[in-house]
Amino acid sequence: MLLHEVNDSFLEEVVDFKKARYVILPVPMDITTTYLKGTKFGPRSIIEASRSLENYNFELDYEVKDIVFTANELELPPEPNECMGIIHQTVSDLLMDDKIPILLGGEHTITYGASLAFDRDVVFVIFDAHADMKRHVKGSELNHASNSRLINKRNPVVLIGVRSLSLEDKKDLEDAGLRCIYQDIVDKDGSLSELVSSIRGKKVYLSIDMDVFDPSIAPGVGTPQPGGMTYHQVLRYIREILSSSKLAGFDISETRPIADNNTTEILASKLVIDIVSLNEMSHKI
Ligand SMILES: [Mn+2]
């Protein structure tokens, strides 16, 4: 399943699986999306975009090299629950091999599938324009708009950048004791130090739904929302989180490539390089 194909590798790097600290797992799931389809083309577009990027981060003086292995795209059935089982199993296998999984989506539901492979004390820090707290969508509990609710059944969840939810969702967030840093708080620079101290020393999984960004810099998503985060706002949160917590894994979800505009997949790809760089450097300091 994880056989390497050079043509599909991130940054065009041929990396030895045994030596790699990170494994990119392309997860082209696009089943329960509620509005525009196309996230199944996300993983491939992000990997293709990576080949146009440099892997050296001059601010950190760090170059991503020989540590990120790229697995083959997961083959997924049409039934969402079966997809969850496959993602759960594959991420479990990577954790057994002591790798840090990097999932490229695909719809956001892949985060729930991945979460099943982690210990219950791993904190899921989710960057998303949407609260994803829906109880049922089209008669099903398993939907990309229910992602946060499902993950929070097993693991603590922190939401960042939320600006789209119903009053019922808001009440459910509060009842669940789920920490949510809404976009207006992000814009006031609030809650970051409080967040960092609350998760200090804990294992964290970062999930970035590309619609957390302002649509002007990430137009290639299925459910865009005006007034989103900037690239530097997201990086600032991630930098602070990784400086005091241990990265267990991460994903970049909901990239939906659009014609003649590769901004979103370039941003997604750059984020992978940034997160790996920040994580590697945070352990050296
Ligand atoms: Mn979203």
Q: Tell me the CATH number at 154.
A: 3.40.800.10
Ligand 1 geometric centre to CA of 173 (Å): 16
Ligand 1 geometric centre to CA of 280 (Å): 28
Domain-embedded: residue 76: yes
Dig out the tokens for 112 from the structure: 């729930």
Domain-embedded: residue 269: yes
Residue 143: what pLDDT? 84
Domain-embedded: residue 114: yes
Ligand 1 geometric centre to CA of 83 (Å): 19
* pLDDT (tens digit per residue) in 217-237: 999 999 999 999 999 999 999
66 confidence band (pLDDT: 50, 70, 90):
very high
Q: Tell me the pTM.
A: 0.95
Residue 2 has pLDDT above 90, yes or no: no
Domain-embedded: residue 125: yes
3-state helix, strand, coil in the chain (%, to 5): 40, 20, 40
Residue 6 has pLDDT above 90, yes or no: no
Domain-embedded: residue 162: yes
Ligand 1 geometric centre to CA of 62 (Å): 31
Q: Which domain holds residue 197?
A: 6-282
Ligand 1 geometric centre to CA of 34 (Å): 11
Residue 105 has pLDDT above 90, yes or no: yes
Query: CB within 5 A of ion ligand 1: which residues?
Result: 128-130, 209, 211
Domain-embedded: residue 1: no
Residue 1 has pLDDT above 50, yes or no: no
Residue 59: what pLDDT? 87
264 Rama class: left (phi>0) / alpha (psi -120 to 50) / beta: alpha
**Cis amide bond preceding 106, omega within 30:** yes
Domain-embedded: residue 176: yes
Q: How far apart are CA 207 and CA 125, in angstroms?
A: 6
Ligand 1 geometric centre to CA of 209 (Å): 6
Ligand 1 geometric centre to CA of 221 (Å): 9
Domain tally, the chain? 1
Dig out the tokens for 174 from the structure: 């509060």
Residue 168 has pLDDT above 80, yes or no: yes
Residue 283: what pLDDT? 64
> Do 255 and 28 form a contact (C-beta atoms < 8 A)?
no
75 confidence band (pLDDT: 50, 70, 90):
very high
